[in-house]
Amino acid sequence: MARSGVLLAAAAGAAALGTAGVAAASTIAYTSLGASSSHVWVMRGDGSGKERLTSGSVVNVAPSLSPAGARLVFVRRLADDRDDLFRIDTDGSDLRRLTRTAVAETDPTWSPAGGLIALSAGRAPGSFEIAVLEPDGTGRRRLTRNGVDDLDPDWAPRGGRLAFTRLVGGTNAEIFVVGAGGKGLRRLTERPGADDSPDWSSTGWIAYVRRLAGASEIRAVRRDGTGNHRLVRSTRQLGSPNWSPDGTRLAFELWDGVDTEIYRVSARGTGLRQLTRNNVNDFGPLWGPGGSRLAFTRLTGGANDVWTIRADGIDPRRLTTAATQQAASDWGAGP
């Protein structure tokens, strides 16, 4: 073999080892839904080390990993729509109930520094507001107060603000931001249709979905409402925008009229690439640490499983094979 071939082979091997090392050192949080219960699980990014963290006849959903990957917060669905937040270490120890309220609490997400958990809480349509609390359940404060629903909180990269979806009336939803202390409320979008699903990049752009009659778009905007531009447009339904860790690429799902597939595009709106291509539904893309792979949920013949794929669309790997319904929720650092 020529020297150049030896060097290329060595480089490829080192790259593969590095990618495998990142996957093995990271944690994927997911849920497993059975006939009468749903539980929180974790595994390494390569599919090894699967561990069920919760037990009993309960329904646990929406696990969100802490920045260091040592803990996660999740929603336990209770009777009479009184969904509360619980916290548990990723080794299965130290289960704690964080909230005990008469409302439903949804969409928990950790701040980048790990000192706060944001959520949406409400009793009935029109009452959901954005709130934050500390990881031990204390220090709860409400950030928004109005007669419409505020949903989908997502933290700014430095943790000082949150983007969220506000249902301003009828089918019209818009993107807002608010400070973590409840000040500085700002409306970022104001157009017909529905703007939702904000995702804040490490470089400061907020991606979101705009749903129009006969079309949908994924757009990006700065926190002050400037620079609003379109990244992708389709006559089909787009959803689940998720920025890569370095903010240079955006993954999303697209329903092509037959099934849902995973795509990616650059932060400039160029380089559109389809990553999955099959006759099943792939949805909910999540970038892994380092940005070399994405996790997603695949629905095949009535069963859900967690898969990963390289960011260039090759090397798909099935990580779960249980008889229950598995769904990826978060991919972050390992403890």
Q: What pLDDT sits at residue 78?
A: 86
Under 8 Å CB-to-CB from 44, ≥6 apart: which residues?
Answer: 23, 24, 25, 26, 27, 28, 334
Under 8 Å CB-to-CB from 272, ≥6 apart: which residues?
Answer: 232, 263, 264, 265
At 26-54, the pLDDT tens digits run 999 999 998 889 999 999 999 999 999 99
Q: What pLDDT sits at residue 80?
A: 74
Containing 233, the helix (H) or strand (E) segment is: strand 229-234
Averaged confidence pLDDT in the chain: 91
Burial of 258 from C-beta contacts in 10 A (0-12 / 13-18 / 19+)? exposed
At 56-111, the pLDDT tens digits run 999 999 999 999 999 999 999 987 778 999 999 999 999 999 999 989 999 999 99
Q: Which residue has better confidence, 279 or 20?
A: 279
At 98-157, the pLDDT tens digits run 999 989 999 999 999 999 999 999 988 889 999 999 999 999 999 999 989 999 999 999
Q: What band does 237 get if pLDDT is binned at 50, 70 and 90?
A: very high
- The DSSP letter of residue 46 is T
Tokens standing for 110?
């950790």
pTM, two decimals, is 0.91
